[in-house]
Structure 1
Amino acid sequence: MATEKKLSSKGQAWFCTTGLPSDIVVEVDDMNFHLHKFPLMSKSRKLHQLITEQEARHSSAARPEEAQSEDEEEDQLLEQHFQLTFTEFPGGSEAFELAAKFCYGVKIDLSPSNVASLRCAGEFLEMTEEYSEDNLISKTERFLSSSVLNSIKDSITTLKSCERLMPMAEELGIASRCIDSIVSRASSVDPALFGWPVNDAARRRRNGVIRGGVTGGGGGGSGSGGYSWFEEISLLGMPLFKQLILAMKEAEMNSEITESCLMHYAKKHIPGVSRSIRKPLPSSSSSSSSLATEAEQKDLLETIVSNLPLEKSSKPSTATRFLFGLLRTANILNASEDCRDVLEKKIGSQLEEATLDDLLIPSYSYLNETLYDVDCVERILGHFLDGIEHRSASEIDGGDSVPRSPALMLVGKLIDGYLSEIASDSNLKASKFYNLAISLPDEARLFDDGLYRAVDVYLKVSDSVTKLFYYIIIRESVTEGCFAGFVNCRRIRGFRNRRERRFAECWTVGSLL
């Protein structure tokens, strides 16, 4: 009858009692495992080699001048207590405990969270099929192939566990196989089934379910909706996340999925990207909600921006709000010019989806006296107009008539609202106000009411029109042949009634613009 095995842990010590006293202590991460050498030697070539070497050293050191009998030598070996120490055991004491149980024949439960550490432990201890049949390496490999790699969620869980197993997990191909599985299974699913990862949390709670969910395996294994595995990906560390995004781009995955991963990861790790109040995502002991240093945040932001798809987002309103959040953060972190230029161009390609609140980008540079970054908005508007001009030129070449662009009219209304908002800034120079006002083509405005309102607000802040503004009005009057505007500009000084004077100023400037 087999001896009953009792496995127990006491403080920093772990015991296996089989009726025989322990003859070997293995120290892993300050945990002492009191074990028996023969079960360990039967499964692990490395432990067999180390124990045999210790036996040989003890035997030679204890050998007396007079020869001992074989029975005496055997009794002496049984009384010896061996000590092994592993300072960098893959997976730590938890992985060694499971490997030790496996050596004793105890059934262990493999899971996506422990299979990578056990695979590395088996490699470290040389628990190969050649040394012992149905050993730990072959058992973990079968579980990886038949279970983990058939599910997106399980593959992400195992990939996350690889972070503390580097570089062995990379050398054994565990991380790369998990990444390939994620990319392959995500690519085979219709992107329309994935929930957009930055939808308002309150809306999801109100609906009660996440619409458009897919199983974690995308055809194998159980899991939760698309939003769930976006959350799982956001828990990855930067090195593995970079590898995953690179694999997605190399596989030419649908840009919507790639952008969704980038957006969700940025919202998880970069503070201030989203201005809305959201329910915090579940925290992890090995992953904080924000990166530790400003340099790491800057590196992450530039990495995310450099990997954003060039195509216009399929959910432009949500993506535009997110891009403006990235742009604000890029200004705060003093990101590279290339990074900010990419963001401005991508925002410009879908500016019609922006709101007035999006455009109110604070001025973080001490060189700017204005409250908001007007130059940045002017550059974004320039990128938008370049795109409109390019599309119009293509339509003209095709022989089609070019109707008034709805996107251009939306942006015209947006810019007029922005002008009204920044007009109250007393530090705003007239030249900046004027240049932004005239940057829009005539087709952008059906009516000039918004522009008149902006000019009126601007003139209310200044008690009188500045000399530079007079110069601009005169210059444009001469250029456009609007001599009446010049006359009216001169007549402004003659008005005694303040309200009448402002009306004249507004009318004069509005007629010129």
Structure 2
Amino acid sequence: MEAYCDLEVDVNGEETFMVDKKIVAQYSGKFTKLFGKSNSTTGKFKVIFHDFPGGAEGFELMLRFCYNNGKPDIGPQNLILAHCAAQFMEMKESVSGGCNLLEQTEKSMREISYWTWSELLIALKQCQNFVLITDSCAVLEKCLDSLVAKLVFSSEVSPCPSSCSPDSSGFRFSCDSKSSESIKTNSSRSTWWFEDLLFLSLMLVEMLVKLMFSRKFDHVVISKFLLFYQKAKFSTSATEEKRKIIEMVIDMHFNMDRSSVSCKTLFGILRVTLGLNINKCSRNKLENMIGLQLDQATLDNLLVPSPYGISYLYDVNLVLRFLKAFLHRGTCLVTPIRIRKVASLVDMYLAEIAPDPSLKPSKFLALATALPDSARDSYDELFHAMDMYLEVHTGLSEEERLKICCGLNYEKLSAEACLHLSQNKNFPSKSTVQALIIQQSKLKNLLLATPSSTSFTDSPCSSSDAGKRGNKDKTSEQVVLYAGNFDTSVDNEKLRAHLQGMQWRVMELEKVCRKMQSQMAKMAKSKASGHSYARSLPKLCS
């Protein structure tokens, strides 16, 4: 029977179809509303669609259903297309009791969980063309959920890669030949599916990962997939697309367990973001994640070049933000061991950036004082970093040098560091005197800790030796007296030489006291065991 075409349909400007209005209207509620119940065949009509889902392909699929007496031909390759077209055209049962296309698509959707792996991939590829259509979301979510369910199951079965082959009876993953070949050559079964999902759009990847989170999928594997996806996509993406991809990767990592994301991984992501100008929210998330694991970082990790327009060689402000995030994790998490590791890392970083002539004193001092005093058992490394900085920045004023030295705890400097400081012209004179005062205080405490002179009856030291020793003690006390009357206007070179001599004598006394304490301990031990101890104590003067 010759077909009668009395309706012209323009679909999205892509293609024009000549159809029988009567045949289509008996299945489509939309056409019924347009033409009413009139069965008139006089004249021809024209309908123009601007937003038909799937365009000409979707309309043609709907027509085949109508001209085939409502017999559906629905599969993974066209389910989403048929579902969206049926929704748009308000498909219904025909007057003769024919099939309802919308009901058929919904029935097929309920069987998605039984589809094979390759069937799910086919459906997802088609879904990407309809992600902006609300009616497609249900199909999309069901496909993704079924996909994740199969991945969860695959992670729980035998580690043999052959279980993922098309012929596997363990679970029906009908992978194509390319995917099967990839599985055979992949060293890790947990990553066999990575290449298969590279076609997913950014939006679908985000939906997939969120479903994985809800299914308690291994976060380590999720992280590997995201980094694999990012690396693969970057080779063909424009700058703006790269920015969106890395922002998605950061946001997804932020929702993972901290233990599943290594510090090395986070710094690798950070390097990728350089020059991409990612949004502030994602940047803050990344910096916060790194800050929480700063004790696991290395010096090379921190040596990030400064952003464009900043004169510093390295991005000091970035490291300061890391430290802020680390300290804000709470006292219960910032253990002494962790904070000492960070302090050691900061000292190495300061030594690395100290020679930078563009580095301002305020930035150097901010880094030096960012951690509490308890973070360092010794300030020697920080002192050497300051020495390097002051040697390069010779134009600093006396006031600026003093501010830099505020970051030092002189009580935690070794005798060698104090000696070096007293001889160092880069440091202000007040710092030199302060170091000597602290060292004298340490010596005084050391002398007080030694046994009294009445315990040294066996010592061969003469009275003249004792007198000399008393003179040395007096001289040590004069360091404090002199420091109190210190005037920077006097001859600094002469004063510095005098202070250096005093420091040497203080160090000699420290050594003698330590030796005396050792000898006395041996004597006490000998007496306790009933043996005599004839060795003499060291003389205080030679």
- Please show how residues 281-292 of structure 1 align to structure 2 within 5 Å: 291=240
Of 68, 93, 103 in structure 1, the residue corresponding to residue 56 of structure 2 is 93
Count of equivalent residues: 407
Please state how far the C-alpha of 1:427 moved relative to its aligned partner: 1.6
CA gap 1:414/1:214 in 2 versus in 1, 3 angstroms: farther
Task: Output the CA distance in 2 between the equivalents of 1:460 and 1:494.
Answer: 6
Q: Does 1:84 align with 2:36?
A: no
Please state how far the C-alpha of 1:116 moved relative to its aligned partner: 0.8
Please state how far the C-alpha of 1:377 moved relative to its aligned partner: 1.1
Q: Tell me if structure 2 keeps the 8 A contact 1:47–1:125.
A: yes
Task: Output the CA distance in 1 between the equivalents of 2:239 and 2:274.
Answer: 17
Task: Output the CA distance in 1 between the equivalents of 2:351 and 2:92.
Answer: 74
Task: Output the CA distance in 2 between the equivalents of 1:328 and 1:213.
Answer: 41
> TM-score, with normalisation over the residues of structure 2?
0.57
Please state how far the C-alpha of 1:191 moved relative to its aligned partner: 8.7
Task: Output the CA distance in 2 between the equivalents of 1:140 and 1:475.
Answer: 72
Q: Tell me if structure 2 keeps the 8 A contact 1:259–1:308.
A: no
CA gap 1:52/1:388 in 2 versus in 1, 3 angstroms: closer
> For structure 1, which segment, 219-228 or 154-163, has the greater mean C-alpha deviation from structure 2 after superposition?
154-163
| Partner residue in 2 for 1:419 | 350
Q: Does 1:32 align with 2:16?
A: yes
- Please show how residues 90-169 of structure 1 align to structure 2 within 5 Å: 90-105=53-68, 110=74, 112=76, 114-128=78-92, 132-147=97-112, 150=115, 154-155=119-120, 158-159=123-124, 161-162=126-127, 165=130, 169=134
Task: Output the CA distance in 2 between the equivalents of 1:431 and 1:474.
Answer: 12
Task: Output the CA distance in 2 between the equivalents of 1:192 and 1:327.
Answer: 37
- Extract unaligned runs of 5+ from structure 2: 180-191, 428-499, 501-542
Q: Tell me if structure 2 keeps the 8 A contact 1:230–1:261.
A: no
Please state how far the C-alpha of 1:389 moved relative to its aligned partner: 6.2
| Partner residue in 2 for 1:399 | none
CA gap 1:249/1:329 in 2 versus in 1, 3 angstroms: farther
Compare CA radii of gyration and give the structure with the larger one: 2
Task: Output the CA distance in 1 between the equivalents of 2:351 and 2:412.
Answer: 25
Task: Output the CA distance in 2 between the equivalents of 1:40 and 1:423.
Answer: 80
| Partner residue in 1 for 2:247 | 301
| Partner residue in 1 for 2:194 | 227
Q: Tell me if structure 1 keeps the 8 A contact 2:379–2:409.
A: no
SS at match of 1:173: helix
| Partner residue in 1 for 2:322 | 380
| Partner residue in 2 for 1:462 | 393
CA gap 1:144/1:391 in 2 versus in 1, 3 angstroms: same
> TM-score, with normalisation over the residues of structure 1?
0.59
Please state how far the C-alpha of 1:90 moved relative to its aligned partner: 1.8
Q: Tell me if structure 1 keeps the 8 A contact 2:87–2:135.
A: no
SS at match of 1:425: coil
For 1:373, the aligned partner's letter is: D
For 1:491, the aligned partner's letter is: Q
Q: Tell me if structure 2 keeps the 8 A contact 1:191–1:257.
A: no
Please state how far the C-alpha of 1:120 moved relative to its aligned partner: 1.4
Task: Output the CA distance in 2 between the equivalents of 1:449 and 1:213.
Answer: 60
- Please show how residues 149-298 of structure 1 align to structure 2 within 5 Å: 150=115, 154-155=119-120, 158-159=123-124, 161-162=126-127, 165=130, 169-170=134-135, 173-190=138-155, 219-223=171-175, 224=179, 225-233=192-200, 235-237=201-203, 243-251=207-215, 253-256=217-220, 259=223, 263=227, 267=230, 280=233, 291=240, 297=244
Q: Tell me if structure 2 keeps the 8 A contact 1:29–1:87.
A: yes
- Extract unaligned runs of 5+ from structure 1: 1-17, 60-79, 195-209, 268-277, 394-401, 496-503, 505-513
Q: Tell me if structure 2 keeps the 8 A contact 1:23–1:37.
A: yes
Task: Output the CA distance in 1 between the equivalents of 2:266 and 2:45.
Answer: 65
CA gap 1:229/1:307 in 2 versus in 1, 3 angstroms: same
SS at match of 2:68: coil
Q: Among the aligned pairs, what percent are the same residue?
A: 27
Task: Output the CA distance in 1 between the equivalents of 2:163 and 2:390.
Answer: 54
| Partner residue in 1 for 2:306 | 363
CA gap 1:475/1:343 in 2 versus in 1, 3 angstroms: closer
- Please show how residues 322-333 of structure 1 align to structure 2 within 5 Å: 322-325=268-271, 328=274, 332-333=277-278
